[in-house]
Structure 1
């Protein structure tokens, strides 16, 4: 059983050494605005059009983006990333949900994730634990993204465990 922690520590140290050399090449800042069609609540048939900020900042291992929030990449190898962050967890309005379901306040959440990248494809597994707001549940997600120029096609599955 001691082999797994030693292997993980070795990967983390390897990631630190190799990513520091590449960090300056990958530092970037992208800010913009757009719109998004989002379901009234997860699983809803009705959608709302909302203003949507575009944010992607990376300085060394520190990042801020819409998907993962603000955080730090613990392992940052070419094609493989493991990190943690604080992120936004969107709630929903009372009028958008079926009768008998209460509104759910927006909240912050702690997120852990791992991503694999190969060419224009990426796959991410993550989990977010809400703190504050109306729930303290966990959201586990799996996403597959394909980039074609400036267009990103994103598909995913979310699993919820609510307290």
Structure 2
């Protein structure tokens, strides 16, 4: 994974915000740390994106952390590797998501279970990237297009 410069991070984030009609409302609705003023500083490369903000952006845009900042994605991966007892982490994650999962449709829960099973059985990262892109295509809110039976960035 290539680490982007501060300017590249800002350009990529600014591109995502081109489809956002009201940046201030977006920042409030998605709990972006620092609000609209910080968003402005991030998209103009006046300040680097921090971990908390990168996570909030990834959640808000429904994308992977590496699509907001490869630098921060690597930091988070390095920190995650230091977690000693994955059972404890999984239990905490399950508790925090169980309330949300009660609101999901049975189809959504079944898909999530299938994804977890596939990951536990060693399905490769590329398959999950394709699945994520497929979901974006169905939502119709991304910059992706189908090309010759595969998925390719519209910018490339």
In the superposition, the TM-score normalised over structure 2's length comes to: 0.25
Greater length-normalized contact order (CA 8 Å, ≥ 6 residues apart)? 2
Which has a greater percent of strand? Answer: 1
Scaled by the length of structure 1, the TM-score of the pair is: 0.24
Structure (1 or 2) with the greater helix fraction: 2
